[in-house]
């Protein structure tokens, strides 16, 4: 095959990185300089030119979505599907290893992943059982446990330094872990820690994976935490070839244990490292890039780098001072309307905010304006109560010892099992070191009143019956049967009004999710186990199933790595962003500024920055100053918009000088490409165009293939026929 597509559209520095010798490589570069592109092309280069088997590559990205996108891009560069290529998040990859080697990892085969809500519930129970006083806040205990795990520490590694509070924390960590181990429950931090211990303690297994994964490709390296780095380090050994890309200015997860210092550590651990710097930005207009550079220049802790663009100067950054949060939402929606009316894709517009709760008002506005939108990480489908109820049934069917699921549904729908009965089960379980399931069976036969015993036995019987009835159903029918036969649907139907209705709809949507779920034939687990793991892993990211063209809403944290022609940074107020708790902490403030840099650099063409003088959030009214980050953008790049006179005035009647220049990003129009168009691909078969972006040689389309799922293809070298 002609290698040109892989090296085309790369500058010299990018090409140097893509074609580097098999030696440790560190690409360190600012936003939008093509780091992710380099990583993708590197993978394709290794496979296609260096003839490295895809089997020998391990690629780590930051989200499942990014992983899927990377796979698509590699496939479109190679113009063929690549199987046996491991691409995923650290958590996803760790999970895969634990599934394969559950025995060596000391886990039951049907172990379940618990998300942070489940984790918190277990900890609450623990704190209550131990009859600790109110100074023991479950959330703080949770934070402590996760922080230790992120550092790779077990209770036995911890010293209380003679501090009784710390001693109790360590004891709680130990108790919590025992509880999880007994129920076969694995929290997010545990996935990483166990996967590390798996290799550390099984030299033969490690040797196997070292032989297998020669090339380790890591995106967003600046946000790796201690245990992730240790895991990579272990895998790389002396012979592996780590190829990592990152930007110290975009390190935004310190609060979750990420350590930007790993960039320096890497160079110490791998002294032969070649460092490549990329300095040209291809994403944003000069105005946007200069503004971002000016803001981040206020940070003292930086490795320092130049970033320039050949791109056009572009439009000024519009700063809008809203009267309150509703006015802010109206403004944003007015601009979105213009954008859509001009024929742009909704999906090319993103509204970013600092904290999740800010989305509600924006969502209301979008709903009223009938603009379709999608929230990433906010309304997490798999975290909605009714969905978790249904999943708990499924999990209990898969594993009777899953206490967290047991407690969740033992009396849901209500079946006469009261708090006292549950408490009796708990103390039996505690005294006998057994699961709630076993405890329930044991006490039903002697300790309980006959009414309570009947209720408990009926529940145990129900679960056994569901397990039996669905044992040879396919996943979709299994889910469908369970949500009905468990009584959940009827339970929520009784809840009159919109809420109950939405819950029923959500449950039914779970059946569709199961229907659309494609188990990976390479995974050695039942489709149900795989679906449940998928649900737990996806919940952290929200879902992206809607292929409808819609506006994107997300926190600035979730926007990392993404780019959009039109971006709104909303809620830019001191106290909100920078966040209140970081205002008096220099390190915290620098992290917030990096987050602001991430936010600004998501924009390709048009950037709006909005703040409100008065804001009602979490039920409280606040009056705030505009974010200090706004004043860090030099005036020359800013145009202020202040419609104080009449707040309710429709924004699109603003004076022409304030109107955004019209921008055309309707790609592929000249090539006759349109959304919904049917196409045929030489390898992937027939499909429909869902999305397109970029222009000329860079134009790409997203195609939903009837068999292969959705893929992004570069028009200029994908062999696509219009039908
Ligand atoms: P971030 O720091 O935000 O993760 P990044 O460094 O990973 O950004 P990419 O997302 O890889 O940057 O690239 C930014 C944009 O620039 C993308 O649209 C990419 O396709 C484009 N791009 C990168 N390199 C080139 C190039 N040599 N020629 C044309 N476009 C490029
Ligand atoms: Mg990137």
CATH of the domain at 57: 3.40.50.300
What is the pLDDT, as a whole number, of residue 355? Answer: 80
How far apart CA 652 and CA 656 sit, in angstroms, is 9
| Nearest Cα to Cα of residue 598 among 285, 251, 303 | 251
The token pair at 376 is 């990433």
Residues 152 and 64 in one domain: no
Task: Tell me: pLDDT of 536 over 90.
Answer: no
Cβ neighbours around 234 below 10 Å, total: 17
Q: Is position 36 annotated as part of the catalytic site?
A: yes
Task: Tell me: pLDDT of 654 over 70.
Answer: no
Q: Is 156 buried (19+), middle (13-18) or exposed (0-12) by CB count in 10 A?
A: exposed
**Cis status, amide bond into 413, omega within 30 of 0:** yes
The model's pLDDT over 417-472, given as tens digits with 9 standing for 90+, comes to 998 999 999 999 999 999 999 999 999 988 888 899 999 999 999 999 999 999 88
Q: Is position 602 annotated as part of the catalytic site?
A: yes
How far apart CA 509 and CA 503 sit, in angstroms, is 10
Q: Is position 65 annotated as part of the catalytic site?
A: no
Look at strands 25-29 and 57-60 and give their pairing.
Answer: unpaired
What is the pLDDT, as a whole number, of residue 699? Answer: 62
Element (H, E) at 685: strand 685-693
The model's pLDDT over 553-592, given as tens digits with 9 standing for 90+, comes to 998 998 999 999 999 999 999 999 999 889 889 999 999 9
What is the domain count for the chain?
5
User: Looking at 35, 96, 318, 711, which residue is catalytic?
Assistant: 35
CATH number at residue 482: 1.10.486.10
Q: Is position 35 annotated as part of the catalytic site?
A: yes
State the distance from the centre of ligand 1 to the C-alpha of 562, rounded, in angstroms: 10
What is the pLDDT, as a whole number, of residue 125? Answer: 86
What is the pLDDT, as a whole number, of residue 673? Answer: 62
The larger pLDDT score, comparing residue 130 to residue 246, is at 246
Element (H, E) at 361: helix 359-368
User: Candidates 4, 9, 31, 34: which one to mutate for ligand 1, based on the most atoms within 8 Å of Cβ?
Assistant: 34
Largest alpha-carbon pair distance within the chain?
82
Residues 624 and 711 in one domain: no
Atom 23 in ligand 1: residue holding the nearest Cα: 34
| Of the residues 183, 214, 238, the one at which a domain ends | 183
Ligand 1 atom at shortest distance from the alpha carbon of 601: 3
Q: Answer yes or no: is 44 within a domain.
A: yes
State the distance from the centre of ligand 2 to the C-alpha of 460, rounded, in angstroms: 49
How far apart CA 696 and CA 705 sit, in angstroms, is 23
With cut-offs at 50, 70 and 90, classify the pLDDT of residue 399.
very high
Q: Which residue's structure tokens are 């529940």?
A: 459
Ligand 1 atom at shortest distance from the alpha carbon of 38: 11
Q: Is position 250 annotated as part of the catalytic site?
A: yes
User: Looking at 61, 250, 358, 552, which residue is catalytic?
Assistant: 250
The larger pLDDT score, comparing residue 549 to residue 673, is at 549
Residues 195/221, Cβ–Cβ less than 8 Å: no
State the distance from the centre of ligand 1 to the C-alpha of 697, rounded, in angstroms: 14
**Cis status, amide bond into 434, omega within 30 of 0:** no
| Of the residues 537, 569, 585, the one at which a domain ends | 537
State the distance from the centre of ligand 1 to the C-alpha of 564, rounded, in angstroms: 12
CB within 8 Å of 211: residues ≥ 6 apart: none
Listed in order, strand segments (DSSP E) in 545-677 are 551-555, 564-569, 603-617, 620-623, 638-641
Starting from the CA of residue 600, give the closest ligand.
1
CB within 8 Å of 365: residues ≥ 6 apart: 326, 329, 330, 332, 333
Mean per-residue pLDDT of the chain: 86
How far apart CA 407 and CA 388 sit, in angstroms, is 12
Starting from the CA of residue 219, give the closest ligand.
2
Residues 435/423, Cβ–Cβ less than 8 Å: no
Ligand 1 atom at shortest distance from the alpha carbon of 561: 4
Task: Tell me: pLDDT of 541 over 50.
Answer: no
The token pair at 142 is 């949770």
Question: Which residues lie across from 113 on neighbouring strands?
Answer: 186
Sign, Cα dihedral of 263, 288, 358, 374: negative
For 228, the 3-state DSSP assignment is: helix
With cut-offs at 50, 70 and 90, classify the pLDDT of residue 664.
very low
Residues 200 and 73 in one domain: yes
With cut-offs at 50, 70 and 90, classify the pLDDT of residue 648.
very low
Atom 31 in ligand 1: residue holding the nearest Cα: 282
Ligand 1 atom at shortest distance from the alpha carbon of 247: 2
With cut-offs at 50, 70 and 90, classify the pLDDT of residue 643.
low
User: Looking at 36, 280, 309, 358, which residue is catalytic?
Assistant: 36
Residues 143 and 254 in one domain: no
State the distance from the centre of ligand 2 to the C-alpha of 61, rounded, in angstroms: 9
Residues within 6 Å of ligand 1 by CB: 9-11, 14, 29, 31-37, 247, 250, 282-283, 561, 563, 601
Helices (H), ranges, 446-497: 450-469, 475-485, 488-494
State the distance from the centre of ligand 1 to the C-alpha of 82, rounded, in angstroms: 23
Q: Answer yes or no: is 677 within a domain.
A: yes
Starting from the CA of residue 697, give the closest ligand.
1
Atom 19 in ligand 1: residue holding the nearest Cα: 34
The model's pLDDT over 333-347, given as tens digits with 9 standing for 90+, comes to 999 999 999 999 999
Look at strands 564-569 and 274-278 and give their pairing.
Answer: unpaired
What is the pLDDT, as a whole number, of residue 671? Answer: 46
| Of the residues 154, 183, 212, the one at which a domain ends | 183
Atom 17 in ligand 1: residue holding the nearest Cα: 283
What is the pLDDT, as a whole number, of residue 63? Answer: 86
Q: Answer yes or no: is 50 within a domain.
A: yes
Ligand 1 atom at shortest distance from the alpha carbon of 40: 11
Residues 95 and 215 in one domain: yes
State the distance from the centre of ligand 2 to the C-alpha of 231, rounded, in angstroms: 22
Starting from the CA of residue 7, give the closest ligand.
1
Q: Which residue's structure tokens are 């196409």?
A: 679
What is the pLDDT, as a whole number, of residue 619? Answer: 59
Q: Answer yes or no: is 662 within a domain.
A: no
pLDDT, mean of residues 277-297: 96
Residues 398 and 486 in one domain: yes
User: Looking at 194, 283, 412, 602, which residue is catalytic?
Assistant: 602
Q: Which residue's structure tokens are 């074609």?
A: 19
What is the pLDDT, as a whole number, of residue 3? Answer: 52
Residues 606/612, Cβ–Cβ less than 8 Å: no
* Alpha-carbon distance values, 112 to 94, 183, 533, 551, 703 (Å): 13, 9, 7, 34, 34
Alpha-carbon dihedral of residues 80, 83, 85, 87, nearest 10 degrees? 90
| Nearest Cα to Cα of residue 520 among 83, 105, 109 | 83
Starting from the CA of residue 251, give the closest ligand.
1
The token pair at 240 is 């592996």
Which range of residues forms the domain containing residue 95?
4-100+193-278
Task: Tell me: pLDDT of 156 over 90.
Answer: yes
Residues 83 and 228 in one domain: yes
| Nearest Cα to Cα of residue 541 among 528, 563, 557 | 557
How far apart CA 302 and CA 263 sit, in angstroms, is 12
Q: Answer yes or no: is 600 within a domain.
A: yes
User: Candidates 7, 31, 37, 352: which one to mutate for ligand 1, based on the most atoms within 8 Å of Cβ?
Assistant: 37
Q: Which of 22-26, 192-196, 695-699 has the lowest mean pLDDT?
A: 695-699
Residues 553/373, Cβ–Cβ less than 8 Å: yes
With cut-offs at 50, 70 and 90, classify the pLDDT of residue 657.
very low
Atom 28 in ligand 1: residue holding the nearest Cα: 9
Angle at 301 between CA 299 and CA 303, to 5 degrees: 105
Task: Tell me: pLDDT of 631 over 80.
Answer: yes
How far apart CA 442 and CA 456 sit, in angstroms, is 11
pLDDT, mean of residues 139-153: 93
Look at strands 551-555 and 620-623 and give their pairing.
Answer: unpaired
Starting from the CA of residue 66, give the closest ligand.
2
With cut-offs at 50, 70 and 90, classify the pLDDT of residue 651.
very low
User: Looking at 118, 219, 325, 541, which residue is catalytic?
Assistant: 219
Q: Is position 220 annotated as part of the catalytic site?
A: yes
Atom 18 in ligand 1: residue holding the nearest Cα: 283
Cβ neighbours around 519 below 10 Å, total: 15
Residues 683 and 638 in one domain: no
For 51, the 3-state DSSP assignment is: coil
Residues 90 and 219 in one domain: yes
For 710, the 3-state DSSP assignment is: strand
Angle at 715 between CA 709 and CA 716, to 5 degrees: 145
How far apart CA 37 and CA 704 sit, in angstroms, is 22
Task: Tell me: pLDDT of 364 over 90.
Answer: no
With cut-offs at 50, 70 and 90, classify the pLDDT of residue 498.
low
State the distance from the centre of ligand 2 to the C-alpha of 628, rounded, in angstroms: 26
What is the pLDDT, as a whole number, of residue 692? Answer: 65
Look at strands 241-246 and 215-218 and give their pairing.
Answer: parallel
Residues 647 and 525 in one domain: no
What is the pLDDT, as a whole number, of residue 612? Answer: 94
What is the pLDDT, as a whole number, of residue 50? Answer: 95
What is the pLDDT, as a whole number, of residue 531? Answer: 87
Q: Which residues of 126-143 are buried (b: 16+ CB within 10 A; e: fewer)?
A: bbeeeeeeeebebeebbe
Q: Answer yes or no: is 107 within a domain.
A: no
With cut-offs at 50, 70 and 90, classify the pLDDT of residue 130.
confident
State the distance from the centre of ligand 2 to the C-alpha of 277, rounded, in angstroms: 14
Q: Answer yes or no: is 105 within a domain.
A: no
Residues 474 and 575 in one domain: no
Cβ neighbours around 487 below 10 Å, total: 15
Cβ neighbours around 711 below 10 Å, total: 23
CATH number at residue 166: 1.10.10.160
Q: At what angle do helices 419-432 and 116-129 cross, to 10 degrees?
A: 80
The model's pLDDT over 186-234, given as tens digits with 9 standing for 90+, comes to 999 999 999 999 999 999 999 999 999 999 999 999 999 999 999 999 9
Residues 84 and 122 in one domain: no
User: Looking at 220, 223, 386, 693, which residue is catalytic?
Assistant: 220
Q: Which residue's structure tokens are 């519930």?
A: 121
pLDDT, mean of residues 519-523: 71
Q: Answer yes or no: is 212 within a domain.
A: yes
Give this prediction's pTM. 0.74
Percent share of the chain, pLDDT over 70: 88
Q: Which of 123-127, 289-293, 466-470 has the lowest mean pLDDT?
A: 123-127
State the distance from the centre of ligand 2 to the C-alpha of 251, rounded, in angstroms: 12
Ligand 1 atom at shortest distance from the alpha carbon of 694: 18
* Alpha-carbon distance values, 502 to 188, 239, 499 (Å): 29, 54, 5
CATH number at residue 697: 2.40.10
End-to-end CA distance of the chain: 26
């Amino acid at each position: 095959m002609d290698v040109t597509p892989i090296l085309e559209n790369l500058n010299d520095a990018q090409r140097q990185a893509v074609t580097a010798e098999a030696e440790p490589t560190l690409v360190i570069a600012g936003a939008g300089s093509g780091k992710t592109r380099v990583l993708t092309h590197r993978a394709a280069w290794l496979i296609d030119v260096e003839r490295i088997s895809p089997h020998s590559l391990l690629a780590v990205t930051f989200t499942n979505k990014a992983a899927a996108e990377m796979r698509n891009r590699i496939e479109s560069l190679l113009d063929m599907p690549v199987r046996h290529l491991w691409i995923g998040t650290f958590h996803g990859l760790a999970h895969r290893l634990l599934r394969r080697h559950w025995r060596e990892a000391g886990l039951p085969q049907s172990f379940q992943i618990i998300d942070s809500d489940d984790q918190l519930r277990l900890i609450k129970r623990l704190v209550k059982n131990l009859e600790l006083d109110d100074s023991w806040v479950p959330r703080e205990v949770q934070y402590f446990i996760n922080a230790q795990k992120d550092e790779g520490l077990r209770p036995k590694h911890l010293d209380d330094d003679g501090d009784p509070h710390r001693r109790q924390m360590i004891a709680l960590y130990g108790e919590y872990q025992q509880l999880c181990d007994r129920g076969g429950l694995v929290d997010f931090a545990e996935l990483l820690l166990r996967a590390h211990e798996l290799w550390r303690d099984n030299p033969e297994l490690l040797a196997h994976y070292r032989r297998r994964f020669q090339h380790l490709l890591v995106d967003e390296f600046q946000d790796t935490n201690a245990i992730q780095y240790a895991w990579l380090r272990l895998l790389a050994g002396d012979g592996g070839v780590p190829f990592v890309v990152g930007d110290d200015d975009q390190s935004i997860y310190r609060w979750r244990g990420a350590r930007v210092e790993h960039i320096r550590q890497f160079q110490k651990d791998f002294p032969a490292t070649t460092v490549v710097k990329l300095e040209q930005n291809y994403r944003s207009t000069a105005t946007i890039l200069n503004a971002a550079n000016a803001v981040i220049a206020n940070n003292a802790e930086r490795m320092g780098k130049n970033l320039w663009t050949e791109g056009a100067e572009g439009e000024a950054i519009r700063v809008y001072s809203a009267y309150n949060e509703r006015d802010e939402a109206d403004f944003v929606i007015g601009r979105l309307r213009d954008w859509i009316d001009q024929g742009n894709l909704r999906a090319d517009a993103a509204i970013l905010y600092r904290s999740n709760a800010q989305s509600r008002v924006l969502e209301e506005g979008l709903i009223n304006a009938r603009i379709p939108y999608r929230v990433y990480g906010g309304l997490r489908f798999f975290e909605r109560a009714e969905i978790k109820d249904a999943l708990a049934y499924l999990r209990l069917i898969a594993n009777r010892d899953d206490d967290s699921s047991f407690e969740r549904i033992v009396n849901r729908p209500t079946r006469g099992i009261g708090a006292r009965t549950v408490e009796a089960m708990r103390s039996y379980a505690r005294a006998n070191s057994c699961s709630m399931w076993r405890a329930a069976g044991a006490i039903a036969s002697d300790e309980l009143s006959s009414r309570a015993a009947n209720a408990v036995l009926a529940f145990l019987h129900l679960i056994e019956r569901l397990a039996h009835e669905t044992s040879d159903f396919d996943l979709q029918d299994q889910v469908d049967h369970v949500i009905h036969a468990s009584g959940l649907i009827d339970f929520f139907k009784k809840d009159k009004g919109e809420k109950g209705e939405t819950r029923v709809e959500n449950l039914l949507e779970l059946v569709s999710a199961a229907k659309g779920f494609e188990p990976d034939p390479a995974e050695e687990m039942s489709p149900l186990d795989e679906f449940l793991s998928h649900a737990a892993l996806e919940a952290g990211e929200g879902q992206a199933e809607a292929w409808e063209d819609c506006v994107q809403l997300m926190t600035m944290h979730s926007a990392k790595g993404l780019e959009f022609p039109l971006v709104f940074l909303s809620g830019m107020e001191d106290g909100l962003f920078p966040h209140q708790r970081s205002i008096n902490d220099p390190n915290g403030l620098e992290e917030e500024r990096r987050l602001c840099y991430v936010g600004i650099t998501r924009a390709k063409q048009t950037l709006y920055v909005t703040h409100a003088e008065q804001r009602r959030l979490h039920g409280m009214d606040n009056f705030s100053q505009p974010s200090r980050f706004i004043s860090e953008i030099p005036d020359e790049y800013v145009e202020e918009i202040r419609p104080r006179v009449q707040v309710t005035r429709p924004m699109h009647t603003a004076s022409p000088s304030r109107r955004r220049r019209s921008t055309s990003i309707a790609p592929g129009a000249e090539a006759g490409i349109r959304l919904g168009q049917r196409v045929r691909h030489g390898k992937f078969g027939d499909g429909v165009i869902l999305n397109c972006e970029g222009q000329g040689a860079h134009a790409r389309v997203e195609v939903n293939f009837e068999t292969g799922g959705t893929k992004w293809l570069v028009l200029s070298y994908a062999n696509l026929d219009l039908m």
